[in-house]
């Protein structure tokens, strides 16, 4: 099964309207989103009642719909690992401070994982199929696969698919205790060469309008998606990657650009290097987590970025990690991982 990406939208640590010409630089161990002017898509009275993650998802979805030239999708499918963390924290905080008495329901209602998808549907007036996948680091990939299945059954329709996750002070502090992030601030542009333990936290939203039929608005072909959980070694990962490409009639050397899930954690980047040397010794390698940070659905940012590369036939120097940026880009392979346990392969082709 395959689909065509008709429109994309993202809210991330980068300015989506000027990326890749201008790259935002940070010196921290977390990358917050560069909030756009949400009044472009949301009524100002509603903005005050919305959590950050909801605003991020609504904005990204509207940008993708505008780019695709449609107002109403036939399905809304998204993924999230953490859901609405900020609203969950507000509700739990009031639960404690108010001794479980006189609690307002708003924060609880907005704390559920499907709140973002529901809010997008409410603002659009969309009563169609609406599904949210909460599968940790595989949330985006499951949402995309569900979208492909939907289009396989109803090829004449359009699917709005994507993912969103946020980071809060509470969640950042908790995850930092596990040693997931750098102990001190680091420049994001130097992250991939830090050679130390940990990465930088990130957040963001990215949505895509998918269609089974190619037309003038098609930006890229979503050729294949596959997930791999807890491989025993880097060699097994490399073997599964080669098998994935083989299923689509490709050899590793026929991939024009590999977008790797390197995140600046020395041990995990060594794992990536081993696989790259095994399969993609002469292939240009790009990275994305120094631009958006590490979070379970960061592959959504990579997919948004890769679609832009195919559309514009240009890879910015800031995204390149190894080799020369290809001039003629026909196929891009996104290999993302989280903690070397959750691996996903996404293959994109030029239209």
User: Which of 184, 211, 238 is the last residue before a domain boundary?
Assistant: 211
- Judgement on whether residues 185 and 241 belong to the same structural domain of the protein: no
Task: Classify residue 236: in a domain, yes or no.
Answer: yes
- Judgement on whether residues 259 and 127 belong to the same structural domain of the protein: no
204-211 and 158-165 as β-strands: parallel, antiparallel, unpaired? Answer: antiparallel
pLDDT of 182 reads 94
Summarize pLDDT for 161-206 with one digit per residue, the tens: 999 999 999 899 999 999 999 999 999 999 999 989 999 999 999 9
- Judgement on whether residues 181 and 316 belong to the same structural domain of the protein: no
- Judgement on whether residues 185 and 119 belong to the same structural domain of the protein: yes
CATH number at residue 273: 3.40.47.10
Give buried/exposed letters for 127-157 (b at 16+ CB in 10 A, else e): eebbbbbebbbbbbbbbbbbbbebbeeeeeb
How remote is the C-alpha of 255 from its chain's centroid?
21
Task: Classify residue 218: in a domain, yes or no.
Answer: no
Q: Give alpha helix (H) positions in the chain.
A: 44-47, 52-68, 85-97, 106-109, 115-124, 139-153, 169-176, 234-247, 266-279, 289-292, 299-312
- Judgement on whether residues 182 and 104 belong to the same structural domain of the protein: yes
Half-sphere exposure in the Cβ direction for 67 (13 Å, CA): 25
Average pLDDT for residues 94-115, to the nearest whole number? 81
pTM of the model: 0.95
Residues 6+ apart with CB under 8 A from 13: 24, 26, 31, 32, 33, 34, 188, 202, 203, 204, 291, 292, 293
Task: Classify residue 257: in a domain, yes or no.
Answer: yes
Task: Classify residue 67: in a domain, yes or no.
Answer: yes
Task: Classify residue 205: in a domain, yes or no.
Answer: yes
Summarize pLDDT for 262-305 with one digit per residue, the tens: 999 999 999 999 999 999 999 999 999 999 999 999 999 999 99
Query: How many angstroms separate the CA atoms of 24 and 45, rounded?
Result: 30
Query: How many angstroms separate the CA atoms of 50 and 46, rounded?
Result: 6
Query: How many angstroms separate the CA atoms of 203 and 190, rounded?
Result: 19
Phi, psi (rounded to 5 degrees) for 312: -95, -5
Longest dimension (CA), the chain: 63
User: Which of 176, 211, 246 is the last residue before a domain boundary?
Assistant: 211
- Judgement on whether residues 243 and 342 belong to the same structural domain of the protein: yes
pLDDT class for 21, splitting at 50, 70, 90? confident
Q: Kindly give the interhelix angle for 85-97 and 169-176, rounded to the nearest 10 degrees.
A: 100
- Judgement on whether residues 113 and 162 belong to the same structural domain of the protein: yes
- Judgement on whether residues 204 and 340 belong to the same structural domain of the protein: no
Query: How many angstroms separate the CA atoms of 247 and 241, rounded?
Result: 10
User: Which of 160, 179, 211 is the last residue before a domain boundary?
Assistant: 211
Q: Are 160 and 62 in contact (CB under 8 A)?
A: no
Average pLDDT for residues 72-80, to the nearest whole number? 98
CA dist list (Å): 153 to 132, 146, 157, 211, 237: 19, 11, 10, 12, 32
Mean of all residue pLDDT scores within the chain: 94
- Judgement on whether residues 241 and 187 belong to the same structural domain of the protein: no
- Judgement on whether residues 153 and 229 belong to the same structural domain of the protein: no
Q: Under DSSP, is residue 75 helix (H, G, I), strand (E, B) or coil?
A: strand
Query: How many angstroms separate the CA atoms of 182 and 192, rounded?
Result: 12
pLDDT class for 36, splitting at 50, 70, 90? very high
Q: Give the DSSP H or E segment for 222.
A: strand 220-229
Please state the domain count of the chain.
2
Gyration radius of the chain over CA positions? 19
- Judgement on whether residues 260 and 333 belong to the same structural domain of the protein: yes
Domain that holds residue 115: 3-211
Percentage above 70 pLDDT, the chain: 100
- Judgement on whether residues 160 and 236 belong to the same structural domain of the protein: no
Summarize pLDDT for 63-74 with one digit per residue, the tens: 999 999 999 999
Task: Classify residue 216: in a domain, yes or no.
Answer: no
């Amino acid at each position: 099964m395959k689909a065509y990406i008709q429109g994309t939208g993202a809210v991330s640590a980068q300015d989506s309207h000027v990326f890749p010409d201008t790259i935002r630089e940070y010196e921290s161990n977390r990358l917050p989103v560069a909030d756009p002017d949400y009044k472009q898509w949301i009524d100002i009275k509603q903005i005050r009642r919305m959590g950050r993650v909801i605003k991020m998802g609504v904005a990204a979805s509207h940008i993708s719909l505008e780019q695709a030239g449609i107002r109403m999708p036939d399905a809304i499918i998204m993924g999230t690992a953490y859901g609405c963390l900020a609203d969950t924290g507000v509700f739990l905080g009031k639960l404690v401070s108010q001794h479980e008495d006189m609690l307002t329901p708003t924060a609880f209602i907005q704390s559920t994982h499907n709140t973002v998808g529901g809010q997008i549907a409410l603002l659009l007036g969309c009563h169609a199929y609406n599904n949210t996948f909460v599968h940790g680091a595989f949330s985006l990939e499951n949402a995309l696969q569900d979208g492909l299945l939907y289009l396989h059954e109803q090829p004449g329709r359009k699917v709005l698919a994507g993912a969103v996750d946020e980071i809060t002070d509470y969640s950042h502090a908790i995850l930092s205790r596990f040693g997931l992030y750098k102990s001190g601030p680091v420049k994001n542009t130097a992250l991939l060469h830090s050679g130390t333990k940990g990465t930088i936290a990130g957040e963001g939203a990215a949505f895509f309008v998918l269609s089974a039929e190619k037309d003038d608005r098609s930006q890229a072909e979503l050729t294949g998606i596959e997930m791999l959980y807890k491989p025993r070694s880097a060699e097994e990962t490399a073997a599964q990657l080669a098998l994935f490409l083989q299923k689509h009639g490709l050899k590793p050397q026929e991939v024009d650009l590999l977008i790797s899930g390197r995140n600046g954690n020395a041990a995990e980047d060594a794992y990536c290097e081993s696989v790259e040397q095994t399969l993609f010794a002469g292939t240009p390698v790009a990275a994305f987590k120094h631009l958006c940070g590490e979070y379970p659905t960061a592959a959504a940012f990579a997919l948004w970025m890769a679609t832009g590369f195919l559309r514009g036939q240009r890879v910015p120097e800031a995204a390149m990690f190894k080799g020369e940026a290809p001039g003629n880009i026909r196929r891009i392979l996104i290999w993302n991982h989280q903690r070397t346990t959750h691996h996903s392969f996404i293959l994109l082709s030029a239209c």
